[in-house]
Structure 1
Amino acid sequence: MKTSEAAPLRARAEIDLAALRANVRALRAHAPGAQLMAVVKADAYGHGALPCARAALAAGARWLGTATPEEALALRAAGIPGRIMCWLWTPGGPWREAVEADLDLGVSGLWALREVTAAARAAGVPARVQLKADTGLGRNGCSPADWPELVAEALRAEAAGLLRITGLWSHLACADEPGHPSVVPQLARFREMVGYAEERGVRPEVRHIANSPAALTLPDSHFDLVRTGIAMYGLSPSPELGAPADFGLRPVMTLAASLALVKHVPGGHGVSYGHHYVTPGDTTLGLVPLGYADGIPRHASGAGPVLVGGKWRTVAGRVAMDQFVVDLGGDEPPVGSEAVLFGPGDRGEPTAEDWAQAAGTIAYEIVTRIGTRVPRVHVNVNAEREA
C-alpha cells in the first residue's frame, strides 16, 4: 500500500484504516447482541471499498453490504470471503453470476424472485435470498399487501431446492431524527411481517432493520444484525444525534491539497467567476487545486472552510471545476503548503460536517462525492499492534 509520503502532491484523501477498525469495534459494542454488517457501497462511501472491507472484517464485522451486485461481485473477485449482501437490482441483472459467487441477494418483489430462481436453476446452485419488507420507507421493499404472495412463492422455490431464504429485512426512514413518530410503527410493522413469514415456515438466519443511527440509539431495532454505513467511517448520521466522539467514533478520511499559487492582490480585486467575492483590501490569495470535478460542492462557494497555516480560511468566490481560492488575509505561506479541507478535527481543521453545513447537505454526500482524480491513500493498513 502507498503511504502518505508517497501520495501525489496535488491532493489526497488519506484514509486511516486504524480509525475504521476502531469504529467497527465501537459499533459492535453499541449492538453487542447482533452481528455487524459493514456497508461498503459506493466505494465504501468514497473511502475505497476493498481496503475498507478488509479492515472491517479484521475488526469483527461478520457481513459486508453493497448496493449493486457489481460492487459485491468485485469484492468477491478480489478474494473477499464470507457473507456479502447486495440489494439494488434491475431486471436482467447479473443474477447467475451473483448466485455462483455465493452472494446474499436482496429481493423486494416477485419479478426479482422469479429472475433469481431462474438463475439458480440455470446455475444448478441454490441462491441465497433475503426478502425485503417495505415497513414505511416507501422506497425499495415489498409492500405489506404483496408480502403474502412473495413469501409463498419464495417458500415454494425453497422447497424445490432453488433457494434458501437467509434473511428478512427492512429499512428505517427517520432513525436519524430523535423521537420521530415513524420509528415505533415501522418496528411494529417489521415484527408483524417477520412473524407472518416465520409462521408460514421461513427460518431466516438474520432479521435486520437497523442502519447506523438505529445501531447507535435504538437497541430495540438491533434484532440479529445491524447494517452500519456512515458511522463506520467515523461520521455521525445526524448532528441531532450527536457528534462522532459522542459515540466513540473517529472520522476516517482527511482531504488535503497543496497550495498551487500564493499571490498579492490589491483591494477591490474580483476573485473567481462572476466576482462574487471582491477583496476588501490588500491581501494574499491562495489557490487550492481542487474543484467541483473532484467533488468539492459548488454550493459551498463563499462558505467552505479550509485550514491553511494553522488558520481557518473560507472559499473566496465560486468553486470552479478544478480549483478554488482562499483569502489568506495577508499571510504568505509558501507554495506547496498544505490546505486541509476536512479531517477528524484534531489539528483544528474543519470536518466533513462543517462542509455539509456550508453546502446545505449531509456529511454522507461530502465524503462520497470526492472524485477519482483524488487518490485514496490508505494508512495504518496493518492491525498487528492494535489492542
Structure 2
Amino acid sequence: MTKATAVLLTLLGIAFAQIDRTCIDIVFNSETYTLSGKCQPRDNSGYIPSELDLNDCFGYDGTNITPTYHGNFAESCHGCEMFVAPDPWYGGAEYWIRCICKEQSEKVAVPLEAAVAHEPIDELLKSVYLGEAPIDKSVDALKWLLERKFDMKEQGDQPWYNANDYCDHVPEFLITILNKSPDRVRTEGICQMIQLLHSYGYSLPFHMNFVSYLGRGLEDIGVPSIPGSLDVALRSHCPPELLGLVLRDYLRPLMKFDATSFARFPLMKRWAGKYRFAEPIGFFGEPSMETADQPWWIFTNVLNTIWGLFLDLMDNSTSWTEAYRGEAADVFGKKIKVLIKYQVLNQLEENMLRGIAESMRSMTTPTKASNIGVIDDRDSQCCWETLYRAILPFKSIKQHWILDIWGSH
C-alpha cells in the first residue's frame, strides 16, 4: 500500500480485515501468488478489501506453476489447483483456479483477472460504492487528491489506455454508482464529486464501457444499452444541475448538438478517443491489433429514458422515492428547461418530452412514495403503459426510430 493510499484511507476512516467469507471482484497477482478482492465478514456488515495467500497451494520453479492439491479457496471448496490457459486471440495467458466445491460433481473453474496496480482513486471509488465512509468525507478526500495532482485514472480505464495515451475524463465507475440511485445524501455528494472533477478540467466520459458495448450481438438489438452520462442525468434522482454540466461538456469543443461530423472539431475527436480491436488476417495467421476512432455520435434512447423514470417511480431496486406526489414530473420539467436553454431540442423533441412530463403528472396509480404500501404488478404495468403512450404518437417519425430503438440525438 502506498503512503498516499494509507493517508486517503485514514481520511475516509476505513479499516482493513482478512479474508473470511463471500468475496467479489477477485484479482490474482501472479508475482505474489495472492488473491485479493472485496470480502464479506461473518457479521455480513458489507464488503471490505481482503487478501488470500496462495503460496501454500501451488509451487513455482521460475517457469511452471504446479498445484500441491492441498489448497482451500473457500469454506465449501477444497483441492484447488491453478492452471494457465494461453489466449490465442489477444496473446498472453489467462490464469484460472479450479476447485472441488460443495454440491458440485465436477471441479469448478474460475478465471482470475491479471493483477492491476490500484491507485488512490480506486480506493476512493471503492469506498463510495460500498458506503464505507460518509459521503462528505469522500468529497473531501477527492479534493485532497486533486489538490496534490494525483492521477484520476481508475483501474477500469485500462482498456482506454490500450488505445489512448491520456485520460482526462471522470471515472466511469462514479457514473455507474450514481446510476444505481443511492439515497439523496449520497446522490448529492456524488454529484459534488463530479462537479469537482469537472472544475479541474475532467470531462464526463463520452462512452461508458465501450468495449462491452461493441461486444453486443445482433440478438441484443433493442436491449437497453449501457447507460451513459446523459442517460443517468435524465433519471429522476439526479438534479437538473448535473444535466447542465453534461451538456456543457458538448460546448467545450464548440460542438453543435445536431452536427453530423466532427471533422472540424478536433477536441470532440479527442473526447471520444480511440479503441483497439483484433482483426484476423487468415485461418492460420496471428490476429492483428488495430486502432480506430470511437464513434462520435450518441443517441439518447427515449425508451431507456422513460424506463429510468419508471424505475425511480415504481421499482424497489432503486432507493429513490418522491418526497411528494409529482416530484418526479417537476424534476423532469426542470430538465426540459435545461435542454431548451442549451438549444438541444427542436420543437418536435420538446413536444415529445413535455408529453412524457404531462403523462407523469396525470398518473393516479400508487407509486413507491405512496402510503398505501407495496406496489403490485398491476400498478407497475399501468405506470409503464402511461409513460409508453406518451411517445407512441412519435413512433412513425423517422429520425426517432433507429433499429427498433427510439432515439433522440
Q: Same fold (TM over 0.5)?
A: no
Please give the TM-score of this superposition, normalised by the length of structure 2. 0.25
**Which structure carries more relative contact order (alpha carbon 8 Å, separation 6+)?**
1
The structure in which a higher percent of residues are helix is: 2
